[in-house]
Amino acid sequence: MNPLRIFCLVVVLLSTATAHRNSNSIRNSLQPSEWLSPRELEDLPAINDITFEKLKEMPAMDAAELLNKIYHLSMLSRNVEPSYAPSPDDIPAYTFTPTGQRVNFKLNKLVSVAKQQPHFGEQEVTIFITGLPQQKLRDAERANQRLIQAYLQMYNGQIQVQINHGDEFEQAVSSSEETTSQQRRPTGNLVVIDLGAVIRNFEELALLDINRVGANIGNTLVQLTSQADVPQEVISIVAQGIGAHVAGAAARQYTRQTGNKLRRITAMDPSKIYARKPNTLVGLTRGSADFVDAIHTSAYGMGTVSRAGDVDFYPNGPSVTMPGTDDIIESSLRATRYFAESVRPGNERNFPAVAAESLQQYKNNNGDGRRAYMGIAADYDLEGDYILQVNAKSPFGKSTPAQRQNTYHGIHPVASRTSSNDY
């Protein structure tokens, strides 16, 4: 029998047997909306019957309700241990030459590949950890490509050619004459650790051994700094979904091994954590790096409403879906799209946000008045929860010229957007 189904039934039996004795403590730990009847438990699918494709096809609210039921059961039982841990020689990764050529390898070969790349580590090094399989999900492929192309433009000077396909602009990479020169020095290096490629189904995501996989990545980063002479001060991680928690574990392992912290971790819709070992710190937390920021775009769906960093951004407030999306997977990946837009040169301040406790407070101009920018331009001294509104279509940022702003949202000037920045 499926392990999740087993612990679901155990929860029912235990809660029935101890209803009178422990009812107060149980009710104090769960909200009324989080209670499930035995019938509801029986109707839950086995974890290996849940697929990314089915979650995408389901109405967003139904998919979110399903995942939240499973999550709350896993938290109540505390008996689901992680059991899936792909090894470094199974996880695909790739980087890019200064001319934009992709270099494929496995994670365990990162250091040797880095040594062969000209100028690697002389400037910024960004590690992008994916969290969903783009081979199965077109939304993941599109979001990942947007982020990769944005970094290639920022680091390698590559330009984007816009090809209009209906409501979206598909981006094709081309190079300027300067980019094609072998002598050109990049202003940074991008490494993609495609963890999503080895998370082939929801069961593997739910049972991923976050700490074990993260420790392997952290050890690899230790080797990168000690053997390839890459300063830890230039390393940042951007990570997607479950990959955000892996990034937190990797950064903590790096600190344990070196005594130093990585520069920054950006979590793009950090996911729920379904499986964890008892009495063990799991996942991304404030302090995992010098600065941790998180963008929550499917807080009540694929993601989590809980704070994950020094500063947490909630576009349109904590919600199930984002404007312009139809399902929880597409909404989760909007965090990647938003961050990608901010990485593209000229768009760094497209997403002004204000500290607020709710979307209603934000709309009523009751925030504390400090402007912040979600994305690459987030200030490292930010703390707390920030809310903003976004557009349904690209460009997603709602920034407007300062002279048009007459509320507390316009305290500081915002970089205006030009048509060439459509993304």
Phi, psi of 15 (to 5 degrees): -70, -30
Q: Which residue has the tokens 């400090």?
A: 370
The pLDDT value recorded for residue 409 is 36
d(CA 117, CA 189): 10
The pLDDT value recorded for residue 1 is 41
Q: Which residue has the tokens 């010098």?
A: 290
The pLDDT value recorded for residue 170 is 40
To the question of pTM greater than 0.75 for the whole model, the response is: yes
The pLDDT value recorded for residue 182 is 47
* CATH class assigned to 92-416: alpha beta
Helix (H, G, I), strand (E, B) or coil at 231: coil
Q: Which of 45, 89, 53, 93 is nearest to 69 (CA)?
A: 45
The pLDDT value recorded for residue 67 is 95
Q: In the chain, where are the structural domains located?
A: 3-77, 92-416
Tokens read off for 191: 């490494």
Phi, psi of 208 (to 5 degrees): -60, 135
d(CA 26, CA 33): 13
Question: How do residues 192-234 score in pLDDT, each as one tens digit?
Answer: 999 999 999 999 999 999 999 999 999 999 999 999 999 999 9
Helix (H, G, I), strand (E, B) or coil at 125: strand
The pLDDT value recorded for residue 417 is 32
The pLDDT value recorded for residue 27 is 29
Q: What is the DSSP letter of 191?
A: E
SS3 percent helix, strand, coil of the chain, rounded to 5, is 40, 15, 40
SS (H, E, C) 46-110: CHHHCCHHHHHHCCHHHHHHHHHHHHHHHHHHCCCCCCECCCCCCCEEEEECCCCCEEEEEHHHH
The pLDDT value recorded for residue 411 is 32
Question: How do residues 290-307 score in pLDDT, each as one tens digit?
Answer: 999 999 999 999 999 999
Q: Which residues of the chain have pLDDT under 70?
A: 1-43, 77-79, 158-184, 365-369, 400-423
The pLDDT value recorded for residue 196 is 98
Beta strands 264-268 and 291-295, pairing class: parallel
How many distinct helices (H) and strands (E) make up the chain? 13, 13
* Size of the chain, expressed as the number of residues it contains: 423
Q: Within the chain, what is the greatest distance between any pair of CA atoms?
A: 76
